[in-house]
Amino acid sequence: MKKATIDRNGCIGCGVCASTCPEVFEIDDEGKATVVSEVLAEYEASAYEAAEECPVGVISIG
């Protein structure tokens, strides 16, 4: 199991991560992305896709 992290200071709240992998990411009440789950094996591909598609590059998975 891997862990996703988000640099919330750089997050622009575009929602790409939450729409790409809602099992791991969501947009919170502050309008920024947050991690809601560890990256289970079945979500790993979509979590990496979300990280790659983040326009400001603030998502890390490791």
Q: What is the pLDDT of residues 2-58, one digit of tens each?
A: 999 999 999 999 999 999 999 999 999 999 999 999 999 999 999 999 999 999 999
Question: Between the CA atoms of 33, 38, 39 and 40, what dihedral angle is there, to the nearest 10 degrees?
Answer: -140
The pLDDT assigned to 62 comes to 94
The pLDDT assigned to 22 comes to 98
pTM for the full model? 0.94
The pLDDT assigned to 16 comes to 98
The pLDDT assigned to 24 comes to 98
The pLDDT assigned to 32 comes to 98
Q: Give the position of tokens 């750089």.
A: 10
